[in-house]
């Protein structure tokens, strides 16, 4: 019975690539954009904004 080496580069062993995150310049990173291309996404986004405003009003009222 042969012995296996203990966890030597398992990613390479299984043929997986190591994930490297893409690098962005400062100009590219500032180009934030909210993409709301479906009615459900728009509704969830607007509901989140309304909820945040309501929570702010509740905190002001309780203070």
Residue 22 to residue 33: CA distance in whole angstroms = 18
Each residue of 33-47: pLDDT tens digit?
777 889 999 999 999
b/e burial code for range 47-59 (CB count within 10 A of at least 16 → b): eeeeeeeeeeeee
Task: Decide if pLDDT at 24 tops 60.
Answer: yes
- Percentage of the chain modeled with pLDDT above 70: 67
Are the C-beta atoms of 20 and 26 separated by less than 8 Å?
Answer: no
Query: pLDDT of 47-57, one tens digit each?
Result: 999 999 999 99
Distances (CA, A) of 43 to 7, 32, 46, 50: 48, 20, 5, 10
């Amino acid at each position: 019975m042969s012995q296996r080496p203990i966890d030597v580069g398992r990613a390479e062993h299984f043929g997986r690539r190591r994930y490297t995150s893409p690098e962005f310049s400062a100009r590219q990173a500032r180009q934030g954009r909210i993409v709301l291309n479906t009615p459900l996404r728009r509704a969830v986004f607007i509901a989140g904004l309304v909820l945040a405003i309501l929570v702010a009003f509740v905190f002001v009222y309780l203070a």
